[in-house]
Structure 1
Amino acid sequence: MAVYQQIGKGYDLTRRADPDIAVQLAKHLQVKLDSSYLDVACGTGNYTLALTKHGGAWHGVDQSKQMIDAAINKSNVVAWQVAEAEKLPYADGSFSGVLCTLAIHHFAALSPVFREIYRVLAAGRFVLFTATPEQMSKYWLVKYFPEAIHKSAEQMPTLEKLRYALNDVGFNSVNIEPYSISENLQDLFLYSGKHRPEIYLDENVRSGISTFALLASADEIATGCQRLAADINTGRITEIVNKYENNQGDYLFVIADKVEKSAKA
């Protein structure tokens, strides 16, 4: 998670909570007005703050002090805290729901984090928003930035690993809902330009995406952007985007349930 110290400065120029994703996260979490919720690896708190509008008392935790400082500057509605995801500073059963968006690929291992989340969660849901290597292999970005996308996909846990780690720490059921990028997506994460290829030519957009900021070489970015710009100018990009179309979603919501022991009996 410390990698975000490097991209934290300009992060909020291009990264903001997408209203549709926030609505879906609230739905999957089953947010209630009188309950407490935790956003793990919350970054600068964009989704945490968007979720407060749906109700509940919210806490946000991130390893990066720079990210938490930015979150504090935005609002004190959320109880922000700097802490490791593997060692959460909360009592057992503190929350009715836990959230983690676009961050699990930065954890050294899944099980220690998931075990902590399971511990601080009362009966309720843990909702993840992420992408699998299989989904990423179908991004048309592979055509222009193959090494960076390959490295990025290698960081992502497979769906099988996710399921195993969640079940291993005690989550009772794990459900999956695919998510496809919309044309007016407001949070400019990795594949946000699926329908707007020109955004990748903007250095500000690339600097807010860890794949470009941390994994792509300067040569690959220069060459890839040159080829992408040429294909946008000729209109060939439409053919390329269409070739990479798939029906398995570009990202996915993972919804894991923790059931009270008495309810399982």
Structure 2
Amino acid sequence: MSTKYNTIGKGYNNTRKPDPYLVERMLFHLQPQTALRYLDIGCGTGNYTNEFQKKGYHFIGIDPSEKMLNKAKSKNTQVDYHLGTAENTNLNSESVNGIIGSLTIHHWFSLTKAFTELYRVLKPKGRLVIFTSTPKQMQGYWLNHYFPKMLQDSIVQMPSFEVVKEAMEQANFTIKKTDPYFIQPDLQDKFLYCGKENPELYFDENIRNGISSFSHLANMAEVEKGLLALRTDIDNGTVKKVMESYENNLGDYLYIVAEK
């Protein structure tokens, strides 16, 4: 993971901006207090960590990519950023009051080891908020129609809810609730399914460079072929039928809220 994100293009930091609605939902599920200490695991360039801090909460940001952390540190020197992984945070036991992990668990080497480590550093009654997407949800992305191999490769690396639940419970976490998230039309963070309502976004090379599925998993020939087909379908109106055929009520992403 560190190698992937140490080499990711500059488009990541330009297009992966914190989304106000997602910030509010993460904080809603975490229920932080200003006097306490929290962890953003897999914080990347610190986009969300920085927003949490600006709202008056004290966060530590941990990521395996030194390049990402250097960008994060340049944004806000008030945040404590450290090199580490979910499996090895290098934090003291029971040293944080809550943890947020946004679009990161599919990069972890071992869910069981990671959740065991996060359980260790979390204080009793502390909350863990995971924001992710499940294979079932991703199978409902209309992107499958235009980039089937890329989506297949992306789906394979995503742990199912059942796998996440089992790993959490093995680490002694108790899942309190789940909350599906549907892409909002004004989404600011340009992650994989950001163009659900606006297919034109995928023609922006900077946006594709900021999405690991496009920048690291996809075959260039498939991307070019898929974009050509998407362009044709947008121009002739067929894309609306394709999008409608993938409509579902599963949600596009998922919050999983657990407690120690």
TM-score by length of 2: 0.97
Q: Given residue 246 of structure 1, which amino acid in structure 2 is its aligned partner?
A: N
Q: Indicate if the aligned counterparts of 2:87 and 2:110 stay in contact, CA closer than 8 A.
A: no
Mapped partners of 1:8, 1:25: distance in 2? 27
What is the distance in 2 between the residues matched to 1:156 and 1:85? 16
The 3-state SS of whatever aligns with 1:85 is coil
Q: CA deviation at 1:174?
A: 4.0
Post-superposition offset of 1:53? 3.2
**Alignment match, 1:25:** 26
Hey, what does 2:223 align to over in structure 1? 221
- Distance in 2, Cα, partners of 1:106 & 1:176: 21
1:64 equivalenced with 2:43 (yes/no)? no
C-alpha distance after superposition, 1:110-146 (max 9, x if no partner): 0111111101100210000000000000000000000
Query: Structure 1: which amino acid aligns with 2:94?
Result: G
Name the Cα RMSD after superposition.
1.0
Deviations 1:40-65 (A, max 9, x none): 11000011111123332110000000
Distance (whole Å) between structure 2 residues aligned to residue 178 and residue 93 of structure 1? 29
Corresponding residue for residue 15 of structure 2: 14
User: Separation in 2 of the partners of 1:224 and 1:148?
Assistant: 10
Q: Distance in 1 between matches of 2:167 and 2:153?
A: 22
- Per the alignment, residue 163 of structure 1 pairs with 165
Please show how residues 1-265 of structure 1 align to structure 2 within 5 Å.
1-2=1-2, 3-123=4-124, 124-258=126-260
Partner of 1:263 in structure 2? none
Q: What is the percent sequence identity of the aligned residues?
A: 43
Regions of 4+ moved over 2 Å: 53-56
- AA partner of residue 54 (structure 1): K
SS across alignment from 1:7: coil
Aligned-partner SS, 2:7: helix
TM-score after normalising by structure 1: 0.95
Structure 1 portions without partners, runs of 5+ = 259-265
Segments of 5+ residues of structure 2 without an aligned counterpart are none
The answer as to whether partners of 1:181 and 1:191 remain within 8 angstroms in 2 is yes
Gap change, CA 1:100 and 1:8, over 3 Å in 2: farther
Amino acid at match of 1:245: E
Give the superposition deviation at 1:173.
2.8
Larger mean CA deviation between 53-62 and 121-130 belongs to 53-62
SS of the residue 1:52 aligns to: helix
Matching residue's letter, 2:28: K
1:187-237 CA deviation, whole Å, 9 max, x = no partner? 000001000101111111101000000111010001000000111111111
Distance 1:86 1:243 in 2: 40
Contact 1:174 1:255 in 2 (8 A): yes
Q: How many pairs were matched up?
A: 258
Alignment partners' CA distance in 2, 1:241 and 1:172: 36
